[in-house]
Amino acid sequence: MQNPRDLDAAIAAGIRASEQSGELQRAKGWGKPLALDDGYAATPAELRMSYKILKDAGCVPAEVEAMRELAALRAELAALEPDTPAWRAKQAQVQQKGLDLALQLERLRGGA
C-alpha cells in the first residue's frame, strides 16, 4: 500500500466491516455525543498526542497538577484566620504557586 488512496480505501473497508459486524456498537461511548470540551482544541498541536497518551493512562500534565495544588492551597488559605502569621505564610505560598503556574502556561504558549 504505497498509494495514500490505497490506505484510505483499506481504512474505509475496515470501518465498513466493523459497522456490519456490530463491533462499533459495542465500542465505549457508542451513540453518545463527542466531548468537545476536553481541552483538546485549546492544547498546542505539538503537545496533543503526548497529553492524549497521558490522559488515556490516567495521568495529568504538570500544569494541571499545578492547578490542583494551587486550588488546594487557596482552600487552605480560606480556612485560616486573616492577617495571622499562618495566613500570611500561606498567602505567600499561593502567590508563588500562582506565579510558577503562570510562567509554565506562558512557556506552553511559546511566550518564554
| 28 CB-contact burial (10 Å; exposed 0-12 / middle 13-18 / buried 19+) | exposed
Q: Please indicate, yes or no, whether residues 18 and 70 belong to a single structural domain of this protein.
A: no
Length of the chain: 112
Q: Please indicate, yes or no, whether residues 81 and 28 belong to a single structural domain of this protein.
A: no
Q: Is the pLDDT of residue 94 over 90?
A: yes
pLDDT of residue 43: 79
Q: Is the pLDDT of residue 13 over 60?
A: yes
What's the number of domains the chain is made of? 2
Q: pTM, whole model, 2 decimals?
A: 0.56
Q: Please indicate, yes or no, whether residues 63 and 49 belong to a single structural domain of this protein.
A: yes
Tell me which residue of 69, 56, 68, 67 sits closest to 108, measured CA to CA. Answer: 67
Res. 112 pLDDT band, cuts 50 70 90: low
Average pLDDT over residues 48-55: 86
Please give the Cα distance from 10 to 73 (Å, whole number): 53
Q: Please indicate, yes or no, whether residues 24 and 79 belong to a single structural domain of this protein.
A: no
Q: Please indicate, yes or no, whether residues 102 and 68 belong to a single structural domain of this protein.
A: yes
Domain that holds residue 14: 1-32
pLDDT of residue 67: 92
